C-alpha cells in the first residue's frame, strides 16, 4: 500500500511556477466561463495555444464538459467545466475521470488550476481531486511471482498540486491533508478486503489490526473465545465454533480524546471468509467472500482516523472476527442458540452468520451506553437487489436518524438509502420454539428484516444505525473509486459521526 504524499504543493497566482515540473495541467472552470477567464488564469504563451485549440474543437463551456489534449510533446492539458451546483458524488466522479485519463497517458505530475469560485465548490474539488488521486494510486495485494522486468518497474504514482487565484492556501492545504488521511484509510479497507482468505485468517487479521491500532496510539483489548464463552456470547460462538483454528474473537479498539465527552461505538462484521457453512454457497456466490470482513475494516479505519485527526469524540471500535466454514463442528439449521443478551435464536440458515456475530457484538458495544452505535457489515444480498451496488442501505432504531443517514451519504459522496424500521417487519421472525428466528427460510425483504433482527440485540435506550455495505463491490467505477472493492464507509462514517452531534 502506498502512503506517500500525493498532495505536493499549493500555489497562489503570485507564486512563480516552473511548468516544466508538470506533465499535465488541469484547468477547472465553472459553467458559463469564457475564453477571457482562461486568459486571466493561464500563462500568456499557453493561453493563446489553448484558446486556438478549443476554437478548433468547437469546445463549449457547458456542464461537465471535459477535454484533454497535448500542450506539447511532453505536457497534456485538460479542461473541466463544472456545473453551478456540484454534488460531492459528481465532484468525485469528475475528478476520477480527469485524473484517470491522465494517468492512463502516463501524465502523473499534475497541476490543477482552480478558477475563482465559491468556497464550497473549492472545498469539494480539493477533496475530490486528492481523494481520486489516492484511489487511483492504490495497488492491490499481489501474490504472483514478479518477473525480472516487473521487479524493477515502479508503478507511476499520481501527485497533484493546486494553483489558486487567491490566497486561500491555508484552508485548502488543511482540506487537502484531511482528504489524504481519509483516502488512505479507504485504501486500507480496499486492501484488507482483497487479501486472500488463507492469507488474512482471523489470527492474522487480529494481529494486523492490533498492530496498526497500537501504532496509532489506540488502546486494544481482545475478547478471545475463552472470554466469550465466559460471557455466554452464544451467537458469536455458534459461528466461530466451525472455524478450524481457535483464534476468532472480538477485537476492541479505543480512542480517548483529551477533550470531548461524546461516545460513539462502532461495530463491524469481520468474516474473513464465508462459505455459507452448512448452508453451503455455490461457486459464483462463494467466490469473492474474502471481502466479508470489510465492515470491520471500516471500523478499524475510522478508529485510526479518529486518532490521527484527534477527533473530540470518544470512539470505541468492535471488530467481530471469525470465519464461516463448513466443518464437523459448524452450527446447523434448527440449532437453538442463546445470545449474550439472553435471547434465544432459532437458526434457519447458517449463511446468515453476519447477524449472529453482530448480535452479540452489538450487545457488548451497547452495554457501554454510548451516545450512538453504528455498525458496518456486508450483510445481505437483498440490499443489492434493492439498490444495486451504487448505494448502501441505512437503518436505525430511531426514525429521526434516517434523514441524518441520507444527509451523510449525500455530503460524503458515499450514498446511502435509508430503509423503514417499522416493527411489523419483525413479525416474520416469530419463532415457535425460541425468542426469535434468525431469518426467514425464503422470500421477504431480508435487508430490512436483518436490520430488525439486529435491533433486538441493542440494549434499551441506545441509539443505533446499521449500514449494509451493498456498494462494497460495485461492478463499475463508483464516485472516485476506479475499481472494486470500493472501501465504502470511511468517508460516510466520518461524515455521519460529525453530523450526529
Ligand atoms: Zn453468509
User: ∠ at Cα 431 (425, 435), nearest 5°?
Assistant: 95
Cα 110 to middle of ligand 1, angstroms: 43
Which parts of 138-252 fold into alpha helices (H)? 148-152, 169-194, 202-215, 225-231, 234-240
Cα 251 to middle of ligand 1, angstroms: 20
Of the candidates 323, 331, 227, 209, the one whose C-alpha atom is nearest the C-alpha of residue 273 is 323
Note whether 437 and 337 are within 8 A (CB). Answer: no
For residue 485, whether the previous peptide bond is cis, meaning omega lies within 30 degrees of 0, is yes
Residue 2, pLDDT score: 40
For residue 427, whether the previous peptide bond is cis, meaning omega lies within 30 degrees of 0, is no
Cα 353 to middle of ligand 1, angstroms: 5
281 is catalytic: yes
Cα 116 to middle of ligand 1, angstroms: 50
Cα 211 to middle of ligand 1, angstroms: 28
Note whether 159 and 169 are within 8 A (CB). Answer: no
User: ∠ at Cα 214 (213, 218), nearest 5°?
Assistant: 70
User: What CA–CA distances, in Å, run from 253 to 302, 377, 416?
Assistant: 10, 17, 26
Return residue ranges of the chain for CATH 3.40.220.10.
Answer: 7-165
**Parallel, antiparallel or unpaired: strands 219-224 and 249-255:** antiparallel
User: ∠ at Cα 280 (275, 284), nearest 5°?
Assistant: 70
The β-bridge partners of 69 are 77
CB 120: neighbour CB atoms within 10 A?
Answer: 9
The H helix count followed by the E strand count for the chain is 16, 17
Residue 298, pLDDT score: 98
Which is the CATH superfamily of the domain at 190-499?
Zn peptidases (3.40.630.10)
Note whether 364 and 340 are within 8 A (CB). Answer: yes
Alpha carbons 13 and 365: distance in angstroms, whole number: 51
Cα 274 to middle of ligand 1, angstroms: 5
CB 94: neighbour CB atoms within 10 A?
Answer: 24
Query: Is 368 buried (19+), middle (13-18) or exposed (0-12) by CB count in 10 A?
Result: middle
- pTM of the entire structure? 0.95
Q: What is the pLDDT of residues 248-304, one digit of tens each?
A: 999 999 999 998 889 999 999 999 999 999 999 999 999 999 999 999 999 999 999
Q: Which residues surround ligand 1, an ion (CB under 5 A)?
A: 274, 351, 353
Question: What are the cell numbers at 111?
Answer: 497541476
Cα 419 to middle of ligand 1, angstroms: 21
Cα 300 to middle of ligand 1, angstroms: 21
User: What CA–CA distances, in Å, run from 428 to 311, 380, 452, 459?
Assistant: 41, 17, 10, 22
Note whether 204 and 294 are within 8 A (CB). Answer: no
CATH topology of domain 7-165: 3.40.220
φ/ψ (deg, to 5) at 27: -110, 125
Largest CA-CA distance found in the chain, in angstroms, rounded? 81
N-terminal to C-terminal alpha carbon distance within the chain: 33
Cα 59 to middle of ligand 1, angstroms: 51
Alpha carbons 42 and 129: distance in angstroms, whole number: 20
Alpha carbons 495 and 465: distance in angstroms, whole number: 14
Residue 105, pLDDT score: 87
Alpha carbons 378 and 43: distance in angstroms, whole number: 50
Residue 166, pLDDT score: 65
Alpha carbons 10 and 99: distance in angstroms, whole number: 18
Alpha carbons 388 and 333: distance in angstroms, whole number: 29
The β-bridge partners of 468 are 377, 393
31 is catalytic: no
Cα 275 to middle of ligand 1, angstroms: 7
Cα 276 to middle of ligand 1, angstroms: 5
Alpha carbons 110 and 133: distance in angstroms, whole number: 10
Of the candidates 238, 301, 285, the one whose C-alpha atom is nearest the C-alpha of residue 380 is 285
Cα 288 to middle of ligand 1, angstroms: 12
CB 46: neighbour CB atoms within 10 A?
Answer: 18
Cα 326 to middle of ligand 1, angstroms: 11
User: What CA–CA distances, in Å, run from 158 to 106, 166, 304?
Assistant: 9, 25, 24
Return residue ranges of the chain for CATH 3.40.630.10.
Answer: 190-499
Cα 338 to middle of ligand 1, angstroms: 20
Cα 154 to middle of ligand 1, angstroms: 38
Q: Which of the following is catalytic: 185, 190, 341, 355? A: 355
Cα 406 to middle of ligand 1, angstroms: 27
Q: Which of the following is catalytic: 281, 343, 406, 407? A: 281
Cα 396 to middle of ligand 1, angstroms: 22
Q: What is the pLDDT along the chain (501 residues), one digit of tens a residue?
A: 444 589 988 888 778 888 888 999 999 998 888 777 777 777 777 788 888 888 888 888 888 888 888 888 888 999 999 988 899 999 999 999 999 999 988 888 999 998 888 888 989 999 999 999 999 999 999 898 888 777 767 778 899 999 887 667 778 888 898 999 999 999 999 999 999 999 999 999 999 999 999 999 999 999 999 999 999 999 999 999 999 889 999 999 999 999 888 999 999 999 999 999 999 999 999 999 999 999 999 999 999 999 999 999 999 999 999 999 999 999 999 999 999 999 999 999 999 999 999 999 999 999 999 999 999 999 999 999 999 999 999 999 999 999 999 999 999 999 999 999 999 999 999 999 999 999 999 999 999 999 999 999 999 999 999 999 989 999 899 999 999 999 999 999 999 999 997
Residue 227, pLDDT score: 98
Question: What are the cell numbers at 394?
Answer: 441505512
Three-state SS at 470:
helix
Alpha carbons 238 and 198: distance in angstroms, whole number: 21
Amino acid at each position: 500500500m502506498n502512503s506517500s504524499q500525493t498532495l505536493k504543493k499549493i500555489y497562489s497566482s503570485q507564486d512563480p511556477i516552473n511548468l516544466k515540473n508538470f506533465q499535465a495541467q488541469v484547468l477547472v472552470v465553472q459553467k458559463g466561463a469564457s475564453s477571457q477567464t482562461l486568459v486571466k488564469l493561464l500563462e500568456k504563451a499557453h493561453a493563446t495555444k489553448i484558446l486556438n485549440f478549443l476554437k478548433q474543437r468547437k469546445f463549449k463551456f457547458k456542464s461537465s464538459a471535459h477535454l484533454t489534449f497535448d500542450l506539447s510533446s511532453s505536457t497534456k492539458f485538460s479542461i473541466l467545466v463544472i456545473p453551478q451546483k456540484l454534488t460531492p458524488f459528481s465532484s468525485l466522479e469528475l475528478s476520477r475521470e480527469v485524473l484517470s485519463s491522465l494517468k492512463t497517458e502516463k501524465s502523473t505530475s499534475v497541476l490543477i488550476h482552480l478558477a475563482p469560485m465559491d468556497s464550497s465548490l473549492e472545498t469539494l474539488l480539493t477533496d475530490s481531486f486528492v481523494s481520486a488521486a489516492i484511489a487511483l494510486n492504490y495497488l492491490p495485494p499481489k501474490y504472483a511471482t514478479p518477473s525480472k522486468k516487473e521487479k524493477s518497474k515502479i508503478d507511476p504514482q499520481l501527485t497533484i498540486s493546486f494553483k489558486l487565484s487567491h490566497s486561500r492556501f491555508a484552508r485548502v492545504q488543511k482540506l487537502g491533508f484531511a482528504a489524504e488521511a481519509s483516502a488512505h484509510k479507504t485504501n486500507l479497507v480496499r486492501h484488507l478486503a482483497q487479501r486472500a482468505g488463507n492469507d488474512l485468517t482471523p489470527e492474522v487479521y487480529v494481529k494486523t489490526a492490533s498492530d496498526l491500532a497500537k501504532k496509532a496510539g489506540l488502546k486494544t483489548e481482545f475478547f478471545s473465545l475463552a472470554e466469550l464463552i465466559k460471557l455466554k456470547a452464544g451467537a458469536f460462538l455458534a459461528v466461530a465454533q466451525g472455524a478450524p483454528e481457535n483464534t476468532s474473537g472480538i477485537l476492541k479498539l479505543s480512542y480517548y480524546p483529551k477533550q470531548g465527552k461524546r461516545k460513539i461505538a462502532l461495530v463491524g462484521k469481520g468474516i474473513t471468509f464465508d462459505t455459507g457453512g452448512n448452508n453451503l454457497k455455490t461457486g459464483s456466490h462463494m467466490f469473492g467472500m474474502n471481502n466479508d470482513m470489510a465492515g470491520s475494516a471500516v471500523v478499524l479505519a475510522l478508529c485510526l482516523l479518529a486518532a490521527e485527526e484527534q477527533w473530540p469524540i470518544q470512539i470505541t471500535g468492535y471488530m467481530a472476527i471469525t470465519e464461516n466454514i463448513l466443518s464437523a463442528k459448524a452450527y446447523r439449521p434448527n440449532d437453538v442458540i442463546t445470545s449474550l443478551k439472553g435471547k434465544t435464536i432459532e437458526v434457519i440458515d447458517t449463511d446468515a452468520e453476519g447477524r449472529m456475530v453482530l448480535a452479540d457484538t452489538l450487545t457488548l458495544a451497547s452495554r457501554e451506553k454510548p451516545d450512538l452505535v453504528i455498525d458496518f457489515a456486508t450483510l445481505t444480498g437483498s440490499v443489492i437487489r434493492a439498490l444495486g451496488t451504487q448505494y448502501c442501505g441505512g437503518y436505525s432504531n430511531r426514525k429521526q436518524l434516517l434523514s441524518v443517514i441520507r444527509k451523510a451519504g449525500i455530503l460524503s459522496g458515499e450514498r446511502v438509502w435509508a430503509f423503514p424500521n417499522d416493527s411489523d417487519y419483525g413479525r416474520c421472525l416469530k419463532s415457535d420454539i425460541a425468542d426469535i428466528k434468525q431469518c426467514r427460510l425464503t422470500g421477504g425483504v431480508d435487508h430490512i428484516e436483518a436490520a430488525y433482527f439486529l435491533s433486538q440485540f441493542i440494549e434499551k435506550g441506545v441509539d443505533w444505525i446499521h449500514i449494509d455495505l451493498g456498494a462494497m463491490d460495485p461492478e463499475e467505477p463508483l464516485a472516485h473509486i476506479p475499481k472494486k472493492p470500493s472501501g465504502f464507509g470511511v468517508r460516510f462514517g466520518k461524515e455521519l459521526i460529525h453530523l450526529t452531534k
